Amino acid sequence: MSDLSGGFTQAPQQSARAFRAVLEAMARPGRVQVLDGAAPPAPLSPAAGAVLLTLVDQSTRLYLAPSHDTPEIRHWIAFHCGAPLTEADAADFALGTWEALQPVARFAIGTPDYPDRSATLIVECDALAPANARLTGPGIETEALAHLPETSAFVANHASFPLGFDCLFTAQDQVLGLPRSTEVEAI
């Protein structure tokens, strides 16, 4: 029965709270937000599960990277989100560890006319600390520090602004946002 458990028990209220955490994360890059309420099957983290429950549904194509392409996760997503699974280059959302999502250059970055038609990567991490990158840009008053799996890919992603993919890094019940608008520098 594991397929049927682990979703939101009060979907409207819990997804509203989860969205506000994701919104704050995306609007204030580098600031870690708490995101709980979901109990998805391992290795999917509660935070990533909550992101899926809040944003992903029948109308969004989801790519599962090899790290997260397990029968349990497929069943859980099929039951709770109903998102059609797809290849990486056609995905609206992608889920996996940073290593499993490589090469990230294959994800949609939008078009000059429609930069919003781009992928959102849900990147599963072991931890969101210690900081190894300095962030500047919209949403950040002066600068913010964050733990990123690498920096060069995000420098390249920002260079094509307003095109680019957007990232949500998740670990346990924590989420950290990195939109394409953020300038990233290794420290």
Partner 1 sequence: MTDHAYNFAYLDEATKRMIRRAILKGIAVPGYQVPFASREMPMPYGWGTGGVQVTAACLTPEDTLKVIDQGADDTTNAVSIRKFFERTGGVETTTHTSEASVIQTRHRIPEEPLREGQILVYQVPIPEPLRFLEPRESETRKMHALEEYGLMHVKLYEDIARHGEISTSYAYPVNVEGRYVMDPSPIPKFDNPKLGGNPAIQLFGAGREQRIYALPPFTEVVSLDFEDHPFQASKADHDCDLCGCATSYLDEVITDDRGGRMFVCSDTDFCESRRSAGHRGRLSPEEMA
Cα separation of 75 and 109, whole Å? 28
Q: Which lies closer to partner 1 via its Cβ, residue 131 or residue 163?
A: 163
Q: How far is the CB of 128 from partner 1 (least distance, A)?
A: 19
Q: Is 156 left (phi over 0), alpha (psi -120 to 50) or beta?
A: alpha
The answer to whether 15 contacts partner 1 (rule: CB under 8 A) is yes
Residue pair 170/158 in contact by the 8 Å Cβ criterion:
no
Q: Which lies closer to partner 1 via its Cβ, residue 19 or residue 70?
A: 19
Sheet of strand 174-178: strand arrangement: 33-34, 174-178, 166-171, 120-124, 93-97, 62-64
The answer to whether 122 contacts partner 1 (rule: CB under 8 A) is no
Locate 180 and state its tokens: 């394409």
Stretch that binds partner 1, among 42-50, 55-63, 72-80, 123-131 (CB under 8 A): 55-63
Question: How do 33-34 and 174-178 pair as beta strands?
Answer: antiparallel
Q: How far is the CB of 19 from partner 1 (least distance, A)?
A: 5
The β-bridge partners of 145 are 134
Total residues at the site for partner 1 (CB under 8 A)?
42
H-run or E-run covering 168: strand 166-171
Window 134-173: residues binding partner 1 (CB under 8 A):
137-141, 161-162, 164, 166
Q: Which lies closer to partner 1 via its Cβ, residue 87 or residue 141?
A: 141
Q: How far is the CB of 112 from partner 1 (least distance, A)?
A: 4
The answer to whether 79 contacts partner 1 (rule: CB under 8 A) is no
Residue pair 146/131 in contact by the 8 Å Cβ criterion:
yes
Binding site residues, partner 1, CB under 8 A: 11-13, 15-17, 19-20, 22-24, 26-28, 54-60, 92, 111-116, 118, 120, 137-141, 161-162, 164, 166, 179-181
